[in-house]
Structure 1
Amino acid sequence: MSLSRKDKPLYLQIKNILKDRILHGVYPLGENIPSEPQLEQEFSVSKITVRGAIQELVQEGYLERGSGKGTKVIRNKAASKLSKWKHFTEILVEEGHQIQKKWLRAEAIRTEADTELHELFGEQCFKLERVYYLDDKPYIYYTHYLSMVLGKLKLSDLNARSLYELLEEHNISLDRLRDEFSVAAPPPEAEEILQLSGKGMPLLKRSRYSYDEHGKITEFSVGYYNTELQNYIVNYDV
């Protein structure tokens, strides 16, 4: 995997990639991550760089080093400032599934007058598309919309980090989320990416509004879930 030499330090980029794999079940709880030589080869970096990334994850409580036994995953849950409830993907990972995500496109678009996007972001916004795979099968298709305050945004900017990490790097904080659920037929591009069995098949649709601490919209996203593969799950502790 190639890393950006113009971005944050290489060890932090690798740390974020490894952390993402832990949180999405690529490296399961209780099992070892690849060895340092394997990671050096994958990322084409030095031993010092790999060790720096691993040390960060050890300090954050995700990994544990064992003398002669490799480096084990001991935690696969992210701390959330927004909610004490578990994320949907965390629940799936705990149940033994593997989640992978892939960014598809990133572009600036002009919004049409009298539309929700125009009301939220004005004349222009960024449009980002990605797909989540559940056990190697396309499961969720997301479209994210962001304000132009991020400046120029390319797909390569997202390869080694999550969307919310990118927002944090631009000092854009999230204070409140609002989710709306409905059932709707997905757009043609979503049907194709999700490999649906029939056109016009209604799917679970989630619309998310993310606000900063001042109540200003930060991000708006729409996700379509192929619940034929997996139901949407919410666990509540009482």
Structure 2
Amino acid sequence: MSITRKKGPLYLQVKKIIKDRILHGVYPLGTNIPSEPLLEKEFQVSKMTIRSAMQELAQEGYVEKKSGVGTIVLRNTSFSKLSKGKRFTEILVEEGHKIEKKVLGAALADIEEGTELRRLFGARCRKIERLYFLDGEPFIHYIHFFSEAVWLDEAAGLPDMQSLYDLIEESRIELESFRDRFTVGFASAETGKLLGVPEGAPLLKRLRYSFDVEGNAVEHSVGFYNTELQHYLVNYDA
């Protein structure tokens, strides 16, 4: 995988990629992270860069290096204050599933007048379309809309596994509240093709809104879930 100094310190980029893999079940709980030589070869970086990345992950409690054994995954959930935005995938990973994401497109989009998006974001917004896979099967078709305050290089795109809430954090935006709505949606021709279901098939439709500390809309996401593959899970704490 190619990384570049233009995106900041190399060891932090490596750390972020490995952390994403842990959080999405690519490196399951209790298993070994690939060896330093393999990571050096994959990322085309020095041994010191890999060691610095692994030290940070160890300090955050994700991994532990054991002599003669290797580096083991100790934790696969996030302590981020935005973790509520990631909780569903974390539950699936805790149950032993593997989550993968594929970016289908990223662009700066003009918004039609009189629409909900126009009310939320004004004349333009950033748009990212992604497909989630559960254990290799297409599971969720997501379309994300962000305010222009969220930084994104549309030409370069973003890594498939990157959390969009990390993207918000990197833009120095502090989220204060979330709002979710659930309803029944019906697969469009595009969504049906992506999820492998007939056009018009009923799907769980999730609409998420995220707001900053001043009450401004930062994100609006529309997701279509193939619940025949996996039920949507909600945990309520006592």
Name 1:161's counterpart in structure 2. 162
- Mapped to 2, the partners of 1:83 and 1:8 lie a distance apart of 24
* SS of equivalent residue, structure 1 residue 175: strand
Name 1:181's counterpart in structure 2. 182
- Mapped to 2, the partners of 1:130 and 1:83 lie a distance apart of 19
Checking the alignment, whether the CA contact within 8 Å between 1:32 and 1:72 is kept in structure 2 is yes
1:222 aligns with 2:222: yes
Name 1:141's counterpart in structure 2. 141
- Calculate the aligned-residue CA RMSD, in Å: 1.8
1:76 aligns with 2:65: no
Offset, 1:191: 1.6
Offset, 1:153: 2.5
Q: How many residue pairs align between the two structures?
A: 237
Name 1:193's counterpart in structure 2. 194
Name 1:34's counterpart in structure 2. 34
How far does the alpha carbon of each residue in 1:175-220 deviate from its partner, in whole angstroms, 9 at most, with x for none?
Answer: 1100000001133322221121x11101001000000011111111
Structure 1 unaligned segments of length 5 or more: list them: none
- Mapped to 1, the partners of 2:205 and 2:221 lie a distance apart of 10
Equivalent residue letter for 1:191: G
Over 3 Å counting, the alpha-carbon distance change for 1:178 and 1:128 in structure 2 is same
TM-score, structure 1 as length reference: 0.94
* SS of equivalent residue, structure 1 residue 118: helix
Over 3 Å counting, the alpha-carbon distance change for 1:98 and 1:155 in structure 2 is farther
Name 2:94's counterpart in structure 1. 94
Which consecutive segments of 4 or more residues in structure 1 shift more than 3 A?
Answer: 82-86
Offset, 1:80: 3.7
Name 1:23's counterpart in structure 2. 23
Over 3 Å counting, the alpha-carbon distance change for 1:4 and 1:103 in structure 2 is farther
Checking the alignment, whether the CA contact within 8 Å between 1:57 and 1:63 is kept in structure 2 is yes
Checking the alignment, whether the CA contact within 8 Å between 2:106 and 2:157 is kept in structure 1 is no
How far does the alpha carbon of each residue in 1:9-48 deviate from its partner, in whole angstroms, 9 at most, with x for none?
Answer: 1111111111111111111111111111111111111111
How far does the alpha carbon of each residue in 1:49-88 deviate from its partner, in whole angstroms, 9 at most, with x for none?
Answer: 1111111100000000101210000111101425779811
How far does the alpha carbon of each residue in 1:91-121 deviate from its partner, in whole angstroms, 9 at most, with x for none?
Answer: 1111111111121210011111111011111
Name 2:171's counterpart in structure 1. 170
Over 3 Å counting, the alpha-carbon distance change for 1:129 and 1:85 in structure 2 is closer
TM-score, structure 2 as length reference: 0.94
How far does the alpha carbon of each residue in 1:140-183 deviate from its partner, in whole angstroms, 9 at most, with x for none?
Answer: 11111111224663263421732222221221111110000000
Equivalent residue letter for 2:111: T
Over 3 Å counting, the alpha-carbon distance change for 1:173 and 1:86 in structure 2 is closer
Equivalent residue letter for 1:123: A
Checking the alignment, whether the CA contact within 8 Å between 1:82 and 1:175 is kept in structure 2 is no
Structure 2 unaligned segments of length 5 or more: list them: none
Over 3 Å counting, the alpha-carbon distance change for 1:184 and 1:126 in structure 2 is same
Query: Identity percentage over the alignment?
Result: 57
